[in-house]
């Protein structure tokens, strides 16, 4: 029953050109890819592929069955898994952590000329987050005239793009 499904899975057909392209890309890079980068791509290429594992789901009412392919659970690289995890994290924040008060979003950008330092010394990213958090807290305290007070922050780091 599953042989036909495993061979004609949409994930298999869509990802095959990506697999070939990654092999060519990896061969051209040699050792320039960040540590773990190749593993992330390999996991992504397996995501949703029934040949890599699946769960059999059966409806208790109608007894109909279908196969659910395992996901890579890769944040940031796999758009499907990242989207799902982002939604789950946001719901967790809303339901369990954040108070029902107004919230604000702030975005800090690193000037292009400084990005090279962060690329080669990843520990600078956590230091940057601490600096941003302290700056926001100081700004809030000054704006509302309090010497002390606490602000909550959920911070994420994006290291892709230009």
Is residue 133's pLDDT more than 70? yes
Helix axes 37-46, 10-29, angle to 10 degrees: 160
Dist. CA 87–CA 102, nearest whole Å: 19
Asked which of 40-44, 108-112, 152-156 is least confident by mean pLDDT, the reply is 40-44
Question: What is the C-alpha separation between 34 and 77, in angstroms, rounded?
Answer: 14
- Give the mean pLDDT of the chain: 78
Confidence check: pLDDT of 66 > 70: yes
pLDDT surpassing 60 at residue 6: no
Q: Can you list the alpha helix ranges (DSSP code H) found in the chain?
A: 2-7, 10-29, 37-46, 79-92, 115-120, 123-144
Q: Which of 161, 156, 160 is nearest to 107 (CA)?
A: 156
Model-level pTM? 0.51
Q: Given this model, what pLDDT does residue 4 score?
A: 45
pLDDT band at 3 (very low <50, low <70, confident <90, very high): very low
């Amino acid at each position: 029953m599953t042989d036909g499904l495993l061979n004609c899975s949409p994930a298999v057909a869509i990802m095959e050109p990506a697999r070939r392209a990654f092999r060519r890309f990896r061969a051209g890079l040699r050792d320039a890819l960040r540590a773990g980068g190749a593993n992330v791509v390999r996991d992504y290429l397996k995501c949703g592929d029934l040949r890599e594992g699946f769960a059999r789901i059966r409806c208790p009412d109608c007894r109909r069955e279908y196969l659910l392919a395992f996901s890579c659970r890769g944040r940031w690289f796999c758009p499907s898994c990242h989207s799902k995890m982002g939604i789950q994290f946001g719901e967790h924040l809303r339901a369990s952590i954040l108070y029902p008060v107004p919230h604000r979003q702030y975005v800090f950008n690193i000037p292009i000329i400084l990005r090279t330092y962060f690329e080669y010394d990843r520990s600078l990213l956590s230091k940057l987050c601490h600096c941003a958090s302290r700056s926001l807290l100081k700004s809030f305290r000054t704006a509302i005239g309090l010497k002390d007070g606490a602000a909550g922050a959920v911070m994420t780091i994006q290291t892709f793009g230009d």
